[in-house]
Amino acid sequence: MDVLERYEPLVDDFRAFRAACERPLPSVVRVNEIKATPERAMDALDDEGVAYEPVEWHPGLLRLDSTSPGRTWGAYHGWLHGQEEVSTLPALVCDPQPDERVWAACAAPGGKATQLAALADDEGTIVANDRSLGRLSALRFNAERLGVTSMAVTNRDARNYSLKPFEFDEFDCALVDAPCSCEGTIRKNPDALDEWSLEYIDSIAATQESILRRAVQATRSGGSVVYSTCTFAPEENEAVLDSVLSAEDCRLVEFSCALETRPGVTEWQGEAFDRSVRKAKRIYPHLNDTGGFFCAKVEVGG
């Protein structure tokens, strides 16, 4: 089965979409503003002779003329962190404030969780969780390298996450960057679709729904939950949102995004979704020369 062809009805320029999926992904780093300003980070790259280009829509992102961004002086000292351009969007949508308690439900290896900490000026509390003990070592390494001090790391199943060990009983906001079929990473991982199956999509969608429901339950009324995946499959995106909207006290809200996007789809293979899923944003590789992505913002309570 040609996996990408199943999405031809959703993409307005399928030929451009397909061509973009076959090109290598640009090398991008995020400036870690806990340790450095974008200007200082660019000066360090200049001193090292590494060519770069600032990303137009975000001053803290740089496209490097290098296939090894992690070997730069700035990366070694925690000024830079290799992070796919579009994957910086969820933390920006969360927009955590310095006094807030934020849950990163599926946080390893730590790119988005450490970005949350930087956006909150490394204050407040970032609870970075992952059920994979092996992946947590990368999260801890990145948090230490980037100078994050506001983070608590936990190793639990997000589907039934308990706040009992903490001195609070709800979060101000949450980020569910859910495990997924990773179709949108094909530019970075050409073998991403080798093990693809509808059975896996159905299985992982059930997990995604459970994690998102728990995030809504654990977030205060008036707080927000950001849901993101790096896949194109509506089963893992709009269908998950539709189910959670029916089961929990929450609603989808609009959010700004400087990238070119497409709205969430309201119908897929005969299944209709809540009309509000159009407030979610689909990002196809050919629109901004990035990976594929999906992002939605949920407001908790009436």
36 marked as part of a ligand binding site: no
**CB contact set of 299 (below 8 Å; sequence gap of 6+):** 222, 223, 224, 250, 251, 252, 253
292 marked as part of a ligand binding site: no
> Could you say which of 230, 250, 257, 295 is catalytic?
230
177 marked as part of a ligand binding site: yes
Asked about 21 being catalytic, the answer comes back as no
Euclidean distance between CA atoms 27 and 119, whole angstroms = 22
130 marked as part of a ligand binding site: yes
134 marked as part of a ligand binding site: no
157 marked as part of a ligand binding site: yes
250 marked as part of a ligand binding site: no
108 marked as part of a ligand binding site: yes
**CB contact set of 113 (below 8 Å; sequence gap of 6+):** 104, 107, 126, 128, 139, 143, 151, 175
Q: Are 81 and 32 in contact (CB under 8 A)?
A: yes
**CB contact set of 5 (below 8 Å; sequence gap of 6+):** none
E strand or H helix at 298:
strand 293-300
192 marked as part of a ligand binding site: no
User: Which residue, 10, 6, 20, is CA-closest to 181?
Assistant: 6
111 marked as part of a ligand binding site: yes
Q: Residues with catalytic annotation? A: 230
Q: Name the binding residues.
A: 106-112, 130, 157, 177
Q: Name the binding residues for S-adenosyl-L-methionine.
A: 106-112, 130, 157, 177
